[in-house]
Structure 1
Amino acid sequence: MIDALAAVSRLAGAGMEAQSARLRIVAENIANARSTGSVEGADPYQRKTILFDARFDDALGAESVKVKGIVTDDSPFLVEHDPGHPAADQDGNVKLPNVNMLVEMADLREASRSYEANLQMIKQARSMISMTIDLLRSS
């Protein structure tokens, strides 16, 4: 039983690692939501997303999640007319990052809740291990 609870803790730990990486990417996107290029016609910051990979872990006997990679979002940049900006092109248009704050806040909330759910799994597994040890001591 204790082995099974330890496996649950390791699975939840893998989930926490994955969501922690996702939170870092979302935070980077939010921090760069207005980062434009510094020279004429330069591309601005490009939104990043994270890819997960579910893999069967032989040691745990269950599927575990890992970060597969970080990729850039190919959606088009926003364009704003600002002829005085250093990154403005000949028409006075500036490319803005393809970061949508509503999407980022939703991702942030989802990743945070998933992280907390995995943390609760670890807390519950530790509690059950502790109770099991107490029961074994008393018998």
Structure 2
Amino acid sequence: MNDLARTMSLSASGLKAQAARIKHVSENISNVDTPGYRRKTVAFTLEETGTETRAVRTGPVRLSQADRERIHDPSHPLADASGTYEGSNVDLMIEIADARQAQRSYEANLKAFDQARQMMAGLLDLIKR
């Protein structure tokens, strides 16, 4: 029973981590046209004790250091003397792919959690008999 509880705990931490990733992807998508915005990414780490994985944790949020797009628009309030300003460095196609990957990972963790829950319920039913 302890292994099933650990499985559920690990799946729950994976759900939280993917939810954080989806949050940052949605922020990036909403700021795709914001001048000067830098893409946010989050890394995952495993919390381990010996040979046992305890949880998935999110690391610090990182800002992308990729070059931001230079946009020529002399009428824009942020334009410099040459008539250009820096846009964001968010690529919408990458964000959509990241969102799809996070969604699928979330669903996989949810299925693992549900399977462990069903197995635990079945085990409890057997013990009651």
Q: TM-score, normalised by structure 2?
A: 0.94
The one of 93, 97, 100 aligned to 2:91: 100
Whether the 8 Å contact between 1:57 and 1:64 is mirrored in structure 2 is no
| Counterparts of residues 55-134 of structure 1 (less than 5 Å) | 55-57=47-49, 61-134=52-125
Letter of the aligned partner of 2:47 in structure 1? R
* Length, aligned pairs only: 129
The one of 22, 45, 65 aligned to 1:53: 45
Aligned to 1:40: none
Q: Which runs of 5+ in 1 are unaligned?
A: 37-43
SS at match of 2:13: helix
Q: Which runs of 5+ in 2 are unaligned?
A: none
d(CA) in 2 for partners of 1:51 and 1:133? 37
Letter of the aligned partner of 2:7 in structure 1? V
SS at match of 1:123: helix
**Structure 1 consecutive aligned stretches of length 4 or more whose deviation exceeds 3 Å:** none
Q: TM-score, normalised by structure 1?
A: 0.87
d(CA) in 2 for partners of 1:54 and 1:35? 34
